[in-house]
């Protein structure tokens, strides 16, 4: 293979590069940060700041010890070209949010070390041969989303004891969502609920999506994990209030931005933890030998003002379970 061709392939991330070595004096690391929502939502939710805080705690100063090269996308359809552009930036390691951003890197055949902030199932997604020993160029955090759905259904039932119709917001561009939808449907069926999938992958589709939710007469909405939805949390929460329906997501950012409740891991802690994995990789660790870590402890967060706005009082059962009630 010609030297010029070889260098081009390495630059594009299509061939593996040697493990980073911490001994390089004066090295300024180039860290890619690929986020499936807008850059502003990465900041509003505290996820990108949490990563930077994690790096600082480990002794890395942005601009001095490393450069953060960010790419994001406001629309799900833009993720692939942004990911391709990021891979041309001569990076040492990439931090990716998960979901469609992660899928874009997989489609492009990335060989660089990749730290995943939230993977619904690393083995099923082809990121790892096992959680304990991934064996590939990916490591990071499992989000544990499959096992969380029965608890979400219980919490919705605690808020609305007579619920029978549950809508679920799905991004059709996210390859993880069909499996997650099946898990949710099984859990909801066992609780006597019928599930109505509602597909959205662009902001322009939200009007039609909520019209469909109203048409189904859904009493509650569960939002599947996806950074496209995260960047529209405020709008989704406001629409749920207008339609007076209970809504839930797996991350606490949703009730913090006006949603009814969340139950799941603290994703900010995942991004702080991602900094520790990046540090190990920069010091020469092989990502394939760094276990995928289990999600942070699950927490229940409820927004009392939203509960009052939709006319659903927080029951004693929910209040006792809550880790935090936003007043």
The domain segmentation of the chain, as residue ranges, is 3-143+267-289, 145-264+299-326
Taking residues 126-144, report their average pLDDT: 91
- For position 16, what pLDDT does the model report? 46
Contact (CB, 8 A) for 257 and 237 = yes
- What percentage of the chain carries pLDDT values higher than 90? 70
Which numeric CATH code is attached to 145-264+299-326? 3.40.50.2300
3-143+267-289 against 145-264+299-326: fold identical? yes
Q: Look at domain 3-143+267-289 and name its CATH class.
A: alpha beta
Contact (CB, 8 A) for 48 and 42 = yes
Is residue 5 over pLDDT 70? no
| Element counts in the chain: helices (H) and strands (E) | 14, 12
Look up the pTM and report it.
Answer: 0.85
Please give the mean pLDDT across all residues of the chain.
89
**C-alpha distance from residue 105 to each of 30, 97, 98, 277 (Å):** 17, 11, 10, 18
The winner for highest mean pLDDT among 3-12, 140-149, 152-161 is 152-161
Cβ neighbours for 166, distance < 8 A, ≥ 6 positions apart? 153, 156, 188, 193, 194, 195, 196, 218, 219, 220, 221, 222
Q: What's phi and psi for 54, nearest 5 deg?
A: -65, -40
Taking residues 42-61, report their average pLDDT: 94
> What crossing angle do the helices spanning 206-215 and 233-242 adopt, rounded to 10°?
30
Beta 324-326 vs 246-249: how paired, if at all? unpaired
Beta 299-303 vs 261-264: how paired, if at all? antiparallel
Q: 194 - beta bridge partners?
A: 165
Contact (CB, 8 A) for 66 and 29 = yes
More confident residue, 119 or 5: 119
Taking residues 304-309, report their average pLDDT: 97
- For position 22, what pLDDT does the model report? 46
Taking residues 258-269, report their average pLDDT: 94
């Amino acid at each position: 293979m010609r030297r010029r061709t070889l260098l081009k392939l390495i630059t594009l991330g299509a061939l593996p590069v040697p493990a980073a070595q911490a001994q390089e004096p004066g090295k300024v690391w180039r860290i890619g940060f690929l986020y499936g929502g807008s850059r502003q939502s990465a900041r509003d939710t505290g996820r990108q700041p949490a990563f930077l805080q994690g790096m600082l705690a480990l002794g890395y100063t942005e601009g001095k010890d490393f450069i953060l090269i960010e790419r994001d996308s406001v629309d799900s359809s833009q993720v692939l070209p942004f990911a391709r552009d990021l891979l041309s930036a001569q990076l040492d390691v990439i931090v990716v949010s998960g979901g469609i951003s992660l899928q874009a890197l997989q489609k492009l055949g990335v060989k660089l070390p990749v730290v995943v902030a939230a993977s619904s199932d690393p083995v099923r997604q082809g990121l790892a041969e096992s959680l304990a020993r991934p064996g590939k160029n990916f490591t990071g955090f499992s989000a544990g989303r499959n096992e969380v759905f029965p608890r979400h259904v219980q919490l919705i039932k605690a808020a609305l004891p007579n619920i029978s119709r549950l809508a679920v917001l799905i991004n059709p561009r996210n390859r993880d969502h069909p499996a997650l939808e099946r898990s949710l449907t099984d859990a909801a069926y066992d609780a006597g609920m019928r599930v109505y999938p509602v597909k959205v992958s662009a902001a322009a589709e939200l009007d039609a999506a909520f019209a469909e939710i109203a048409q189904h007469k859904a009493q509650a909405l569960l939002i599947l994990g996806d950074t496209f939805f995260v960047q529209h949390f405020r709008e989704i929460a406001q629409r749920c209030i207008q339609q007076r329906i209970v809504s839930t997501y797996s991350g606490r950012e949703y009730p913090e931005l006006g949603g009814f409740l969340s139950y799941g891991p603290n994703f900010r802690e995942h991004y702080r933890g991602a900094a520790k994995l990046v540090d190990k990789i920069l010091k020469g660790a092989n990502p394939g030998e760094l276990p995928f870590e289990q999600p942070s402890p699950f927490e229940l967060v409820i927004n009392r003002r939203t509960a009052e706005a939709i006319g659903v009082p927080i029951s004693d059962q929910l209040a006792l379970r809550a880790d935090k009630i936003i007043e």
